[in-house]
Amino acid sequence: MSHERLRDDVAAAARRLAHEGLLVGTAGNVSARDGDLVAVTASGVTLAGCRPEDVTVVSLEGAVVEGDLRPTSELSLHLGVHADSWADTGTAAVVHTHAPYSTAVACVLDELPVLHYQQLLLGGAIRVAPYATFGTPELAAAVREALVGRQAALMGNHGSVAVGGSLDAAVENALLLEWLAALHHRAAALGTPRALTAEEQDDVVRAALSRGYGTTHHHPAHNPAHDPAHDPAHDPAHNQENA
């Protein structure tokens, strides 16, 4: 992928997250990896209006390869997550937000329990990384540990991080995490939230695998191979040619 395309895609993801209300002002950052390069939003950029020139391309060691702006202060977090996950999970994108419900939950809980089965798409209960000052190696290390085996993590008194095999996947995971945090907030306002048990979660995984949950399928009653519309014998032009 060209640098131009990579920068454009990161900028578009940042604008979408801002439109969805997960990024406000300059708070938050987005990155995507292509081979040995990472494109990441620059420091101080208003993300709702992020442009390709507001995205800086760096090496895996953090050296600027393309762009005039200084990368985000959370560059070490992004590079660390990419380094951890590239070989194992194919993580190609990282999204860090200060989304309101996710941040609120990260100020209260040590872990976001599984109230709804869709949370299993993120790997299960979401860990909250202990608070550390933004932009520090301590924060990067805590978030990387919280992400082990997960597609998202919360950052104590700070925000959230979501990853994915593509920018679209990482954005969707960030949106799902925010929905789950809002769900917990609303459930807690009504009473004590009731989490799914480990057995119930295992049942969901088995059902999803057996039914192909989350993917599209042809209706079993419709087999294109037996559809008269696809049968040359029912094509008037075919019949006329062979009359």
Reported as a single tens digit per residue, the pLDDT across 18-27 is: 999 999 999 9
Q: Is residue 48 part of a domain?
A: yes
φ/ψ (deg, to 5) at 43: -70, 140
For residue 237, tell me if it sits in a domain: no
Buried b (16+ CB within 10 A) or exposed e, 221-230: eeeeeeeeee
Residue 133 has pLDDT above 70, yes or no: yes
Mean pLDDT, the chain, rounded, equals 90
72 inside domain? yes
Provide DSSP, the chain: --HHHHHHHHHHHHHHHHHTTS-BTTB-EEEEEETTEEEEEBTT--GGG--GGGEEEEETT--EEE-SSPBPTTHHHHHHHHHHHHHHH---EEEEE--HHHHHHHTT-SEE---SGGGGGGTSSEEEEPP--TTSHHHHHHHHHHTTT-SEEEETTTEEEEEESSHHHHHHHHHHHHHHHHHHHHHHHHSS--PPPHHHHHHHHHHHHHHTTTS----TT--GGG-GGG-GGG-HHHHHHT-
In a domain, 230, yes or no: no
Is 157 part of a structural domain of the chain? yes
Is residue 41 assigned to a domain?
Answer: yes
Query: Does residue 195 lie in a domain region?
Result: no
Total structural domains in the chain? 1
Comparing 197 with 86, which gets the higher pLDDT? 197
Q: Which residues are catalytic?
A: 74
Its domain, for residue 22, covers 3-190
CATH number at residue 19: 3.40.225.10
In the chain, the percentage of residues whose pLDDT exceeds 90 is 79
Q: Does the pLDDT value for residue 2 go beyond 60?
A: yes
Q: Give pLDDT, residue 243.
A: 44
Half-sphere exposure of 132 (CA within 13 A, CB side): 15
Is residue 153 domain-resident? yes
CA distance 94 to 161: 7
Residue-wise DSSP of 202-217: HHHHHHHHHHTTTS--
Q: What is the predicted pLDDT for the residue at 151?
A: 96
> What's the predicted TM-score (pTM) here?
0.86
Q: What is the mean pLDDT of residues 109-138?
A: 97
